[in-house]
Structure 1
């Protein structure tokens, strides 16, 4: 599985001149070079920009670019302004106007895990999730039990859609009555007051000096501890790591509850992946459906072993 779309982001020079100038003003100095990020599922510019005054990671988009990508960038700017220090990359500066939006954060020198996955990487990610799951969420964040429904409660939809239902592994298809019951428990299972990243996956993690840094925070919510775990484990398996079942004990060492305690969330995330991977491709986000499909397999196998 590739870590995000297998493509380069838009070029630095494709940004409106005023947005480039705003980013350089935050970093300081004159432009020297930039290195666009490879992969990811957003049509914004994202890359490390080097100037005579320093270097930083910049995300930016013109107001008339891909609407969902611009909306998520603006949401990430708002979210990062509310998070406590040390949880997410440090914000150096932001700009939002009628021309577009710019987010400038510290550049983290690290690597994405999964090449290959190691025990140290798993423990680093588990430690990061433990920190997030004990961090009180700002009250301004949306509540998970409200905002994750109906996106993560799709079993009724899947059961009523012949193509989606018929393509399920038989063990999962036979469990649809139980999965619809679990769906009713989802909101209660994700309700809480701690920080939830809600998009933890291999390409949104950088390992640096033994620590896992969680990137890309536009989906952050206020919810229950360890809600992110059912999201990241299928990504670990799909990117060449251990299976969800094999990896789970590492996270239990860091305080994760038994997997059956998270079963409504595990089922909910699997329903999201299975429903989304079948939708039409988005031209501006090539590879998204294949990426979701690659994670849906591990998620469904894990779910089948638990229900």
Structure 2
């Protein structure tokens, strides 16, 4: 279930005071409506610059993703914007990041953003899994495979982003920046290109075209055929579960993309 949105001005005064204690007096707020994993999503303007704010209530079931983002940030900058502060006040958990003036990546066929995303994924591939609490890919997908042994192919020590929603890839300064690291995972290096394939198909690529983009990332060469087949099948089940009985436009596209890829891999 998406986090219920809240405007900055509707936060408790203690929370707003705690934020201003970190970044100074806020002169202007721009509430942002996009995003499913945060209740608060806003840009705060002060004399010293602009800060991107994201937050969840401390009793939200996904609040652990806030701590995950805080813990992983030192390991993924400058791929990701730098974390400026993390405060917990009056029932709210708030992160403040340096703001990036960019746009969401375009995943459509022929987009000039595709090479930038590929380069970001390559750079991420050079980052070892840090010694912090992270979910394991084989555990996250174990409930969606035919046989528990199939999930063994997902094991690995690579740091994975896993959520390749194009809204999580901001293009600025002629490169791609990765945001929203709450679902960072440790697993096989080929899994991030595999996750991306589904988003590419949802954006209009054929399964063959999407795999050709993934093949531009060296880690894809290490992907075992049966492991990829198992991942495609597991992803189709996962997105069907997420979409539910009445998928919206967003989840419907991802469900359709995952099913197309599963049909391509597991004919």
TM-score, normalized by length of structure 2? 0.86
DSSP-derived class of the 2:208 partner: helix
Cα displacement (A) at 1:184: 3.0
SS in 1 for 2:253: helix
Equivalent position of 2:262 in the other structure? 303
Paired residues of 1:277 and 1:289 also in contact (CA < 8 A): yes
2:71: which partner in 1? 78
Q: 1:55 aligns with which of 50, 67, 74?
A: 50
Aligned with residue 211 of structure 2, among 248, 253, 275: 248
Asked if the contact 1:62–1:99 (Cα under 8 Å) also holds between the matched residues in 2, the reply is yes
Alignment of 1:143-222 (within 5 A): 143-150=135-142, 153-154=143-144, 180=146, 184-186=149-151, 188-222=152-186
1:68 corresponding residue in structure 2: 61
Post-superposition shift, 1:69? 4.0
Task: Compute the displacement of 1:47 (Å).
Answer: 1.4
Aligned residue pairs: how many?
A: 262
Q: What's the counterpart of residue 174 of structure 1?
A: none
Question: In the alignment, which residue of structure 2 is the partner of 1:168?
Answer: none
SS at match of 2:171: strand
Cross-structure match for 2:237: 271
Cα drift, residue 8 of structure 1: 9.5
1:95 aligns with 2:54: no
- 2:6 aligned residue (10, 15, 22): 10
What CA RMSD, in Å, does the superposition of the two structures yield over aligned residues? 2.7
Mapped partners of 2:206, 2:5: distance in 1: 30
In 1, the alpha carbon distance for the partners of 2:94 and 2:86 equals 5
Hey, what's the Cα distance between the residues in 2 that align with 1:203 and 1:275?
A: 21
- How far apart are residue 289 of structure 1 and its match? 5.3
Q: CA-to-partner distance for each residue in 1:167-221, whole Å, 9 max, x for gaps?
A: xxxxxxxxxxxxx25x6322x2221112111212111111112211111011112
3-state secondary structure, aligned to 2:233 = helix
The C-alpha deviation readout for 1:132-165, integer Å capped at 9, x for no partner, is 2221011213252453143xx325xxxxxxxxxx
| Contact kept in structure 2, 1:141 and 1:221, CA below 8 Å | no
1: CA distance, partners of 2:30 / 2:110: 27
4+ residue runs over 6 A deviation: none
Distance verdict in 2 for CA 1:11–1:143, change over 3 Å = closer
Equivalences for residues 225-244 of structure 1 within 5 A: 225-238=189-202, 240-244=203-207
Query: Would the alpha carbon gap of residues 90 and 117 (structure 1) be closer, same or farther in structure 2, given more than 3 Å must change?
Result: farther
What secondary structure is seen at the aligned counterpart in 2 of 1:108?
coil
Contact 1:201 1:231 in 2 (8 A): no
1:200 counterpart SS class: coil
From the superposition, tell whether residues 147 and 289 of structure 1 become closer, same or farther in structure 2 (CA, over 3 Å). Answer: farther
- Structure 2 contact 108–205 (Cα < 8 Å) conserved: no
User: Mind listing any 5+ residue stretches in structure 2 that lack a counterpart?
Assistant: none
**TM-score normalised to the size of structure 1?**
0.75
